[in-house]
Amino acid sequence: MGRYRELIRPVWVEIDLSAIRHNLAEIRRLVGPDVDIMAVVKADAYGHGAVQIAKVALESGAKWLGVALPEEGIALREAGITAPILVFSPLQTEQVEAMVRFDLTSTICLLEPAVALSRAALSAGKKPSYHVKIDTGMGRIGVPAEEAVAFIKKLQLLPGLDYGGIYSHLATSDERDKEYAKYQIKRFNKVIVDLKAEGLFPAKAHLANSAAIIDLPLAYYNMVRPGIMLYGMYPSSEVDLEKIRLKPAFSLKTKVVFIKKVPPGTAVSYGRKYITAKETTIATVPIGYADGWSRLLSGKAEVLISGKRFPVVGAICMDLCMVDVGDEPVEIGQEVTLIGSQGSEQITVEEIGAHLGTINYEVVCMISDRAPRRYLNEN
Query: What is residue 2's predicted lDDT score, i.e. its pLDDT?
Result: 55
**Average pLDDT in the 196-210 region?**
98
Domain hosting 339: range is 250-376
Assigned domain for 4 exists? no
| 275 shares a domain with 205 | no
**Which of 172, 198, 231 is the C-terminal boundary of a domain?**
231
Query: What is residue 7's predicted lDDT score, i.e. its pLDDT?
Result: 58
| 135 shares a domain with 197 | yes
Query: What is residue 136's predicted lDDT score, i.e. its pLDDT?
Result: 99
Assigned domain for 332 exists? yes
pTM, two decimal places: 0.95
Strands 11-16 and 308-313: unpaired
**Average pLDDT in the 198-212 region?**
98
Assigned domain for 224 exists? yes
Assigned domain for 321 exists? yes
77 has which bridge partners? none
Assigned domain for 157 exists? yes
| 128 shares a domain with 223 | yes
Q: Which residues are catalytic?
A: 42, 270
| 356 shares a domain with 267 | yes
pLDDT digits (tens, 9 = 90+) for 279-288: 999 999 999 9
pLDDT digits (tens, 9 = 90+) for 213-262: 999 999 999 999 999 999 999 999 999 999 999 999 999 999 999 999 99
pLDDT digits (tens, 9 = 90+) for 63-75: 999 999 999 999 9
| 113 shares a domain with 48 | yes
What total number of domains does the chain contain? 2
109-115, Cβ contacts within 8 angstroms, sequence gap of 24 or more: 109/133, 109/134, 109/135, 109/141, 109/142, 109/143, 109/151, 111/151, 111/154, 111/155, 114/155, 114/158, 114/161, 115/158
pLDDT digits (tens, 9 = 90+) for 89-127: 999 999 999 999 999 999 999 999 999 999 999 999 999
**Which of 174, 197, 231 is the C-terminal boundary of a domain?**
231
- Which helix (H) or strand (E) is 309 found in, with range? strand 308-313
CATH of the domain at 288: 2.40.37.10
Assigned domain for 335 exists? yes
Assigned domain for 8 exists? no
| 122 shares a domain with 271 | no
Q: How far apart are CA 177 and CA 309, in angstroms?
A: 36
DSSP 159: T
| 116 shares a domain with 86 | yes
| 280 shares a domain with 189 | no
| 213 shares a domain with 78 | yes
| 191 shares a domain with 275 | no
CATH of the domain at 104: 3.20.20.10
Assigned domain for 40 exists? yes
79 has a pLDDT exceeding 70: yes
| 192 shares a domain with 270 | no
| 293 shares a domain with 164 | no
DSSP state letters, 183-217:
HHHHHHHHHHHHHHHTT---SEEE---HHHHHH-G
Q: How far apart are CA 62 and CA 7, in angstroms?
A: 34
